[in-house]
Structure 1
Amino acid sequence: MARVICVHGIGQQFSGERDQHLRWCAAIADGLTRAGVSAAGSALAPADVSCVFYGDLFRPPGRVLAAQDPPWDASDVDDAGDDAYEAELLFALWEEAARTDSAVVPPQARTLARTPRSVQMALDALSRSRFFAGLAMRGLIADLKQVRGYLCDQDTYARVQQRVAAAVTDRTQVVIGHSLGSVVAYEALAAHPEWSVRSLLTLGSPLGIRNLVYDRLRLPTGGAPGDWPGPVTDWTNLADAGDVVALVKDLRPLFGDRVEGQLVHNGSRAHDATRYLSTDGAGRAVARGCGLL
């Protein structure tokens, strides 16, 4: 019966509900403190926060926590015909990384044919970026496949959405979505205008990426990408200038001027959910939604 529902992003297949809850609760409390909400710990108790977990859907069966991702390489990135989604997303990330990081060599026109060789060049370029520092190639490829799995596979989409719907109750006031979780949250709210949720908080969101994300959003019959997300009256979107996943920082041109957009600074971990949550902007959004301000 949580007041705040949290939806994580990609790369969480080796995490779990309790792990997510521990980290997100602490960061939410810090954000409330930054926002000037007194006695943040008692204003929003751990029991008031619930983390929807779906990372296990992307964890191959029989794997243990210490295992590594499959030894994928450039040949495993789909890059042809109707299956070119992973390569298209990879190149969008490459272009954005090059724009924000001088250490990343930008893609040239000759690489845009999306060949196996150009996919390898994109992976090599991203491996040198600050944003993807420490992430092995197989990890990046796994993340691409998770995004494709949710956006392009109806069964995966349905299973994730079922978990969100099971978590939301009449007591839920705020939904928070990080990274791919912001897409999940937006689609869930759009599909359930009957919910009593008042506020949506999106963090490091890829919702504004045309063709690859925005134009693939699934709305109820008669709806279209860009529609206001169902019952919410308040939508705050936070983006770090160096967050490659949040390629489009300002969502207002696509979703309307009612979206309150803020640029934040998360340091070397631009896409980190807890760094987003600990900002005063996140704290104010949660506090407004919960009636604490």
Structure 2
Amino acid sequence: MTRIVGVHGVLQYRPGDPLRAGEAIAAQWREHLGPDRPPGLEVAYFADLVRKPGAYGEPLNVDRLDADAWSLLTSYLVAALPDLDDGGRLRVSPRTGMAILAGRRNVNGAATHGFLVAFAREAARFLRAHGRAGTREAVTARVARRMAGADVVVAHSLGAVVAYETLWAHSPIAIPLLITIGSPLAVPGAVFPHLSSPTVDGRRGRPPNVDRWIDVLDPRDLFAVPGGEVAALFDGVEAHAERRVPAFDAHQPGGYLRSEPVGRALTGLDLVNRAGSGQVDRAVEG
């Protein structure tokens, strides 16, 4: 059976056992994939590691962001609103910038505020190089344990950043197929400069332990589009653009999981095992 490991995005925290939390998210993903997709899907859960220690709920309020998250959000808005870029600084407050962005994209302002605050907060905690020591290492170590032996990794939103960093940090893991959906990897300032992989002429590469990388993007996705598609800044990526759902829901995993490029990659997967090793040799789209 094909083993698929998902890596979730933001706002996925569930109290209690991380294994049960991951299974709850996996059950939702399996519903989106539908009955004709490969059944062996699980989710690598990390949301408990990118939240404030001891906090059950954190208000989705831009005024409650710490300095790192504030800086990340500002960098994101500079990329999303280039006409408001004042030498790398936003000409308006982040709160105003989010309202302008929501208006231009014709999406709900309060929901945009909440999702962007959550993204900035969780991404900053994962990517920061100081403060709460070891968060990136703790997240990638846990996700690596789930990824080991997977035939396919499907990584959504911040999970695409986590999966990418995990694969670079844990080179013994071999993944025949990586699918990123709604990925913010290419967002300049906010994400791209903080990745650990090497750059060549301002570009980063596909992890060397990944045979094939497919990136699926809805061009209306608030998180994935600022700064350009992943293929614009990463080598070795097969890019697909797909419009599937109403504009604000464009970032949700369900629309991506039901999309034609993802379905084609999964249902047409031909996995050949190395004799006696249990390791996957290659993945070919049929």
Please report the TM-score for the alignment, with normalisation by the length of structure 2.
0.76
Q: Which residue of 2 aligns with 1:229?
A: 207
Structure 1 residue 28, shift from structure 2 partner: 2.5
Query: Which whole-Å deviations, capped at 9, do the CAs of 1:87-106 have from their partners, x for residues lacking one?
Result: 2223334x17xxxxxxxxxx
Matched residues in 2 for 1:195 and 1:289: separation?
Answer: 19
Q: Does 1:212 align with 2:190?
A: yes
Q: Tell me the amino acid that sits aligned with residue 86 of structure 1.
A: L
Deviation at 1:147, TM superposition (A): 1.3
Amino acid at match of 2:23: R
Partner of 1:103: none
C-alpha distance 132-167 of structure 1, shift in aligned 2 (>3 A): farther
Deviation, 1:168, is 2.2
Give unmatched runs, 5+ long, in structure 2: 16-20, 272-284
Instruction: Give 1:92's aligned residue.
Output: 79
The equivalent residue for 2:47 is 55
> Are the counterparts in 2 of residues 5 and 52 from structure 1 also a CA contact under 8 Å?
yes
CA distance in 2, matches of 1:139, 1:244: 10
| 1:175 corresponds to 2:153 | yes
Matched, 1:120 2:95: yes
Q: Is residue 270 of structure 1 aligned with residue 250 of structure 2?
A: yes
CA displacement 1:58-78 (0-9 Å, x = unmatched): 4445655xx5x3263447464
Contact 1:6 1:177 in 2 (8 A): yes
Q: State the shift of 1:235 in Å.
A: 0.9
Matches of 1:288 and 1:135 in 2, distance apart?
36
The residue matched to 2:148 in structure 1 has which SS? coil
Aligned-pair distance for 1:20?
0.8
Assess, with a 3 A threshold, how the Cα gap between structure 1 residues 77 and 266 changes in structure 2: closer, same or farther. farther
Match of 1:147 in 2: 123
Partner SS state of residue 223, structure 2? coil
Query: Whole-Å Cα distance in 1 between the matches of residues 240 and 74 of structure 2?
Result: 30
Task: Say if 2:170 is the partner of 1:192.
Answer: yes
Q: Is the 8 A contact 1:236 1:260 kept in 2?
A: yes
Q: Distance in 1 between matches of 2:166 and 2:60?
A: 33
Could you say which residue in structure 1 is the equivalent of 2:26? 21
CA RMSD of aligned residues (A): 3.4
When residues 289 and 123 of structure 1 are mapped into structure 2, their CA distance, relative to the original with a 3 A threshold, is same
Change (3 A) 1:274 1:136: closer
| Number of the residue aligned with 2:274 | none
The AA in structure 1 aligned to 2:211 is T
- Mark the runs of 5 or more structure 1 residues left unpaired by the alignment: 34-39, 97-106
Q: 1:84 to 1:274 in 2, by over 3 A?
A: same
Q: Work out which of the residue numbers 216, 224, 227 in structure 2 matches 1:238.
A: 216
State TM-score, norm by structure 1. Answer: 0.75
Higher relative contact order (Cα pairs below 8 Å, separated by 6+ residues): 1
Give the match for residue 5 of structure 1: 5
Cα distance in 1, alignment partners of residues 30 and 42 from structure 2 = 9
